[in-house]
Amino acid sequence: MLSIILCRTCGNAYPSNDDLPQVCPICADDRQYLLEDGQVWLDVSEIAGDHRFTLSEPEPGVTRIDVTPDFGIGQKTMLVNTPAGNLLWEPSGYIDDDLLQTVTDRGGVAAVASSHPHLVGASVVWAREFAAPFYFNTDDRRWITHPDPSIELWRDSRQILPGLTLVQAGGHFPGSSVAHWAVGADDRGVLFCGDTIAVVANRTASFMRSYPNSIPLSPRLVRQIVDAVEPYDYDRIYGAFGSTIDHDARRIVHESADRYIAWVTDAIRDPDERSLVISPVS
């Protein structure tokens, strides 16, 4: 049975009970929050069996892993298949032996990565289990909660598997990134976005310093994010929590950025103006 220590609020793993900080630094940051009744640490072995996993296949080559009920921040994990092995994207902190076996049966893990420090979960455990690198952006290294030799620092962009490239866009965190999968969406290209570009309720996009605390980003940073992914072909994006812009994603991301910047720069004179409405996928 695995024994790892997790912050209950964000679900990130820590190496041992012996050297825990007073509070989880990721949750004490203004992008997250501490629980009113204080920090809670969990040993994953103590909650074994409290959650279950559901697997689905949103498109060929992608397995989505949901944890029910949600654990930590509640991201949906993606396993992305390439000819050289699988990328495990944004694993939950909740993990058990059955899931390790299920992923082994699907070809195991050749690389582990996430968009930013909130959605790291048990990445180090997965990386160790499969002797795979866990890619962590250099500009966010102060947020590493579980130092380990499996961590491979990177910056700007890094091809991690054939057709799979991490792209640093910044914004939410300085090292916030997306994973670009060139052959996804029938070769039109896919971005796995985490919180870097959020897919929101009406299947358009948004960009925030803090989602739970509603702290926006500057126009400069929103432009920086859109510009960072512009060189890559993409037609579909997967957000962190199961929402997808199924196609036409580049247009929708551009129009969403324009809308966002218009609001935060007070450029909108008529809030009922119909041209502000972004049409859904065409």
CB of 20 to Zn ion, least distance (A): 11
DSSP state, residue 7: E
Shortest Å, Cβ 116 to Zn ion = 6
Nearer to Zn ion, 81 or 177 (CB): 177
Q: How far is the CB of 124 from Zn ion (least distance, A)?
A: 15
**Strands 236-239 and 190-194, sheet pairing:** parallel
Choice between 20 and 153, CB closer to Zn ion: 20
Contact 178, 167 (CB under 8 A): yes
Residue corresponding to tokens 């289990």: 129
Helix (H) or strand (E) holding 154: strand 151-154
DSSP code at position 143 = G
**Closer of 10 and 221 to Zn ion (Cβ):** 10
Tokens of 134: 């866990």
Cα separation of 119 and 194, whole Å?
8
Pick 51 or 172: Cβ nearer Zn ion: 172
Residue 79 C-beta: closest distance to Zn ion, Å: 21
**CA dist., res. 147 & res. 265, Å (int):** 40
Q: Which is nearer to Zn ion, 119 or 252 (CB)?
A: 119
What is d(CA 137, CA 33) in angstroms, rounded to the nearest whole number?
Answer: 22
In terms of CB distance, is 81 or 176 closer to Zn ion?
A: 176
Residue with Cβ nearer Zn ion (12 or 204): 12
Residue with tokens 């950025």: 257
- Exposure string over 69-89, b if 16+ CB within 10 A, otherwise e: eebbbebbbbbbbbeebbbbb
In angstroms, give the least distance from the CB of 70 to Zn ion.
15
DSSP 28-85: HSTTS---TT---EEEGGGGTTSSEEEEEEEETTEEEEEEES--TT-PPEEEEEETTE
Q: Which is nearer to Zn ion, 145 or 244 (CB)?
A: 145
Residue 270's contacts (CB-CB under 8 Å, 6 or more residues apart) are none
CB of 233 to Zn ion, least distance (A): 26
- Report in angstroms how near the CB of residue 184 gets to Zn ion at its nearest: 22
Q: Contact at 8 Å (CB) between 187 and 152?
A: no
Residue numbers of the site for Zn ion (CB under 5 A)?
A: 7, 9-10, 24, 26-27, 118, 195
Residue type, 4: I
State in angstroms the smallest separation of the CB of 118 from Zn ion: 3
